[in-house]
Chain A
Amino acid sequence: MRLSEAGWRRNAIALAGGLVSALVPSIRLSFLGPTTAGRLDDAAYAAELRDRSLFPPTSMTAPVTAILDLGGTQPTGAALRELVVPLGQGLLGGKYGNVKVVLVAPDDSVAELIRLLAREYRLPLFLARTSQPEDVAAAEPIGDLTQAEHETLNSLNAVGGISTVAGFAGATGLGATAANNRLTGLNRKGYVHRLPRGRRYGDIFVDPRSPVSDELIANAMHPEIPPARDALLRAGIVDDPYARTRIELHGEAGHRAAEILRRRGKVE
């Protein structure tokens, strides 16, 4: 198993059984290197690959984040164009269902070409250096995004990649209407998932780069209960009480902790 596959395995386990697959985005990871044996120099083959094996047209509405890793292959310009442009246009037109795409391009020149194509054709894509979860989480949104839309996406990412309109409004200080316009605008352009929920707290907007969290799966199992952090975000509390960040004790705190350790014989 590749490292990146292992990294995404937790999502697959969490989603096993399909119980919540219509309510949380699932992750689909494809590696183009092995599929093409390292060669992608024919536009017709790229089109066939795109439409037959990677992104067959579907009427499914379940949200999917598709990660397409181009590592290990050197596409020609024509093949890359044939792979990326109709794909992005199909995403905008809903041809592939509710799919958001992260393209992974370790090669700088391939990444640059993808960026140029996305900008020229206004394609709603994300671009990452590797398919490791931490790189996907930091993937660059490319295509047709204004400065305000970039900021909105960054703000959504900063609150954990999941929010209701009310939560986003509280966290950012925007009014409810402005927050709604920002998030629905991003959804319309194809950069965020919008997951339908009850009237009580409204739909959830999800940054497709975020790993599917335990909290989101829990919310899908109990859609009548607001998602974790929503009550805090609505009140403007953006600090994450569930953060598993390492605590480091300095100064007086460190000395007090050290004294406890000495008394308990844990250090000299």
Chain B
Amino acid sequence: MTLLPSRASLQDDAAFAAFSCIAPGAPSTPWLEEVDNYIRAALLRASDLHVLAFREGDNLVAVSAFYESRIGIPVVQPADHPAWHLEVLAVAHQRHRNGIGLQVLDHTLATMQELDPHIVFVVARAHADNDASIRLCAKRDITLFLPDGAYQVLLGELKAA
């Protein structure tokens, strides 16, 4: 079935509130539970996020969200550089292991480029033990840059337009 991306709004609240990336009864991790809770209640109400909904037919099968941030690279110059911060990327449990994650990531990166082709960096923060997210990002060369407490800051380059 074709994956249909769209910009999400509060009108999608009911679909988001029912979203889950954890199969009932399946073992979970704190970061999976967190992303479930965050998507179901908070994501659509965060004031400065671009939120994408990915549907197959009427079913919400994946979600991503990002915002514009700044990163400092003192070795180059004192001024900060703009970057997209990928905050959420989640696939519904029913569609795990279908390669959808990479499609969602690709579409999200393309949307970032569409919004501002001058931004070259994408950053993300993943829990150090969140292997699935770290592996997915690595497929697009978004890789470990520096530890940040329990998390890793990942950094990658958006393709030139």
How far does the Cβ of A256 sit from chain B's closest Cβ, in whole Å?
8
How far does the Cβ of B63 sit from chain A's closest Cβ, in whole Å?
15
- B17 interface residue per 8 A CB criterion: yes
How far does the Cβ of A23 sit from chain B's closest Cβ, in whole Å?
12
In this complex, how many residues of chain A approach chain B with their Cβ under 8 Å: the count is 40
Provide the residues of chain A in CB contact with B72, threshold 8 Å: 246-249
- Asked if A241 and B125 sit within 8 Å, CB to CB, the answer is yes
How far does the Cβ of A105 sit from chain B's closest Cβ, in whole Å?
32
**Main DSSP-derived SS at the B contact region:** mixed
- A255 interface residue per 8 A CB criterion: yes
- Asked if A261 and B76 sit within 8 Å, CB to CB, the answer is yes
Q: Which of A228, A241, A266 contacts B151 (CB 8 A)?
A: A241
Once the chains are docked, how many angstroms separate the CA of A215 from the CA of B47? Answer: 10
Once the chains are docked, how many angstroms separate the CA of A235 from the CA of B69? Answer: 28
Interface residues of B in 35-85 (CB under 8 A from A): 36-38, 40-42, 44-47, 69-77, 80-81, 83
- A-B interface, 9 closest residue pairs, ranked by CB to CB distance from nearest: A239-B149, A235-B30, A231-B33, A248-B72, A218-B42, A222-B41, A254-B75, A231-B34, A225-B41
Q: Enumerate chain B interface residues (CB-CB to A < 8 A).
A: 17, 30-31, 33-34, 36-38, 40-42, 44-47, 69-77, 80-81, 83, 87, 120-121, 123, 125, 127, 145-146, 148-151, 153, 155, 157, 160
Q: Enumerate chain A interface residues (CB-CB to B < 8 A).
A: 10, 214-215, 217-219, 221-222, 225-232, 234-235, 237-239, 241-242, 244, 246-250, 253-258, 260-261, 264, 266-267
- 10 residue pairs bridging A and B, Cβ less than 8 Å apart: A215-B45, A218-B44, A222-B17, A228-B37, A241-B34, A253-B146, A258-B75, A261-B81, A264-B157, A266-B120
